Structure 1
Amino acid sequence: MEEIKVVIVEDDDEIRNGLAYLINSSPGFLCLAKYSNSEDFLKDFLQKKKDKNYVLPDVILMDINLPGMSGIECIKKIKETNKSIQIMVLTVFEDHDTIYKSLKAGATGYILKKTATTELLDAIKDIYNGGSPMSSQIARKVVLSFQEQKTSNETQNLTPREQEILNYLAMGYRYKEIAALLFISVETVRTHIRNIYEKLHVQSRMEAVLKLQQK
């Protein structure tokens, strides 16, 4: 089994070292490096990226409240240089504004620090495999947020079933899980999602969720 390569950006020494230990002691995971601030990480990342032999991380665990450059700003800069790297926010912040700004900056996962270690490892696997993991509290906030927003002309075009599927996508459910919940085939789910993306003029799950969140 190929190891999932992880980089940690976290200013709390105890949390940073604990995460590194957890990752390195878990089969199928490898902590490539750990940093206490955004500046050191970006400097190292941009320097090493020039080396063709440099092994890029698969997943970056990013704190938000960092000294100097914030985690959100760091996410933006990472995505400007490499759009394929998956970034999962790991934070204590649960407010709508921070969640929205993190997802808009390019994060594809949002997990709270109080998450159990087994769930955290599952979330890293999920984001590596193309999912968008979120703590249940965060997923609920995201869904409630766009349900409360006035719908635009684009979102009004979604059918009730498409809206239902989009809700499940926002909560991090996979296609197979959605199919099982709605008693339809995975291919039918894919068809609905293609229609959702076309109606909202987006190309990914996060773009669709953000489109619904826009005021």
Structure 2
Amino acid sequence: METIRISVVEDISEIREGIRFVINQTPGFECVSVYENAEDAVAALPALRPDIVVMDINLPGMSGIDCIRKVRAVTSHIQFMMFTVFEEGEQVFEALSAGASGYLLKKTPPHKIIEALQELHEGGSPMSASIARKIVNSFQKTPPSEESQKLSAREKEILDHLAKGLLYKEIASTLSISTGTVRQHIHNIYEKLHVQNRTEAINKVFGR
């Protein structure tokens, strides 16, 4: 089985080591590096090229968001999962705009973190439910666009669950279908809407 290589950027040692422990205790995952500041991460990540970086926002010196911008300016092969206490809409959209593909709050249980990392590696954009709801609320300030008419009833249903922050596995359980079927529906949604991720899909359907 392919090992998913993870790096962690977090200034609080207890949280940093806790994430490393959870990752290394999970089959199929390996924590290949940890950093307590963004400057060290920017210097090392482009050469190390982990699959995913778990990134805090509020770091000493350079912020996690600026760290993402600098790393992505050099390589596009690394995916970023924000892991933070910040729930403010401005922080969320700034992080996603910088290149983050997932956004989890630090109160997320360990098993949910692993599920989210797996989903991110498979092409998803996992988010804590409250974060997804903020995005939807922002998009719903304007009426739904004509883009939604391109989707089938099932696809609209799945997009609604995505907007609530559900993971692929949770959507599958809710709708009594396989995760493979969920992935296929989401692939179809992205193709029909000409988007690359969950946030863009919600933006296209609800309008921002």
**C-alpha separation in 2, matches of 1:26 and 1:192:** 31
Partner of residue 8, structure 1: 8
SS at match of 1:125: helix
Per-residue Cα deviation, 1:81-130 (whole angstroms, up to 9, x for no partner): 22231110000011111111111111111001111111111111111111
Partner of residue 114, structure 1: 107
**C-alpha separation in 2, matches of 1:36 and 1:79:** 19
Using the TM superposition, give the Cα deviation of residue 56 of structure 1 relative to its aligned residue in structure 2, in angstroms. 2.1
CA contact (8 A) 1:100 1:210 kept: no
**C-alpha separation in 1, matches of 2:128 and 2:86:** 12
Amino acid in structure 1 at the alignment position of 2:142 = K
Using the TM superposition, give the Cα deviation of residue 172 of structure 1 relative to its aligned residue in structure 2, in angstroms. 4.9
CA contact (8 A) 2:103 2:126 kept: yes
In the TM superposition, 1:134-213 aligns within 5 A as 134-147=127-140, 149-151=141-143, 155-159=145-149, 161=153, 164-170=157-163, 171-174=165-168, 177=171, 181=175, 190-197=187-194, 202-209=195-202
CA contact (8 A) 1:131 1:172 kept: no
**C-alpha separation in 2, matches of 1:70 and 1:213:** 30
Partner of residue 23, structure 1: 23
In the TM superposition, 1:57-72 aligns within 5 A as 57-72=50-65
**C-alpha separation in 1, matches of 2:21 and 2:122:** 22
SS at match of 1:158: helix
Give the aligned CA root-mean-square deviation in angstroms: 2.9
**C-alpha separation in 2, matches of 1:43 and 1:136:** 33
In the TM superposition, 1:30-41 aligns within 5 A as 30-41=30-41
**C-alpha separation in 2, matches of 1:172 and 1:112:** 14
**C-alpha separation in 2, matches of 1:120 and 1:188:** 23
SS at match of 2:20: helix
Using the TM superposition, give the Cα deviation of residue 206 of structure 1 relative to its aligned residue in structure 2, in angstroms. 3.3
Per-residue Cα deviation, 1:29-68 (whole angstroms, up to 9, x for no partner): 111110011001111224xx2xxxxx52111000000111
Per-residue Cα deviation, 1:123-169 (whole angstroms, up to 9, x for no partner): 1111111111111121222222211x2258xx344328566554334
CA contact (8 A) 1:112 1:135 kept: yes
Unaligned runs of 5+ in 1: 50-54
**C-alpha separation in 2, matches of 1:12 and 1:213:** 38
Unaligned runs of 5+ in 2: none
CA contact (8 A) 2:58 2:64 kept: yes
Using the TM superposition, give the Cα deviation of residue 213 of structure 1 relative to its aligned residue in structure 2, in angstroms. 8.1
Residue 128 in structure 1 maps to residue 121 in structure 2: yes
Partner of residue 52, structure 1: none
